[in-house]
Structures are given as C-alpha cells and as structure tokens.
Amino acid sequence: MNYRTLCSFYKGEKECPFEAGKGNAGKFWMAERFVCEEYAQTVEKQVETDFFRMVAAYMCKWAPYNFPDLIRDYLSKSDADEKIKAQVKAMYL
C-alpha cells in the first residue's frame, strides 16, 4: 500500500492547488502531503488506519482550537471507509 492512494486532496503536486481562504481543502491537502512525504519515510509499512490517524493528528497540531470541526469536515469529504472514520472520530472527537 502507498499512502498516496488514500489521499482525497493531495495528488503529488509540489504546490497546493487550492486557493487560500477558500474553505479547508488547502489545509487537508497540506496534512495529506505531510503524511505522504514526511511521515511515510519514517514507517516500515504504510497502513490505511495510520494514514487517517496521522492526517487527523497533523490537524490537531496546528489547529488546537478548531481541530474537531476540521476533522469532521475532512472525514466527510475523504474516501475513508466508515469503519476508519469511526475509529478516527473515537480517537479525536
């Protein structure tokens, strides 16, 4: 498995294609990019649940006051299955 196949926003671009200030897509792109390009280098095996867990953790780090809303919005727009969405919600919300 490759984390990039799980992305709903990041598709390997070098720069964010989403306009700043126009919704949360740019934030989601940045979180997915970090997990794909940085976090993925530190793990032996890329696991689907870890991808979504780390995207949520990244959002918590830089949005300590509104991360629950960001995570809910991200999960509603992501391609994660319902089981994984429930796991992430239980962990962070």
What is the pTM for the complete model shown?
Answer: 0.93
- What is the mean pLDDT for each group of 10 consecutive residues in the chain (93 residues)? 95 93 91 97 94 96 92 95 95 92
What is the per-residue pLDDT for 22?
Answer: 84
Q: Residue 49: its pLDDT value, please?
A: 94
Burial of 31 (0-12, 13-18, 19+ CB in 10 A): buried
Sketch the domain layout of the chain as residue ranges: 3-92
Residues 56/92, Cβ–Cβ less than 8 Å = yes
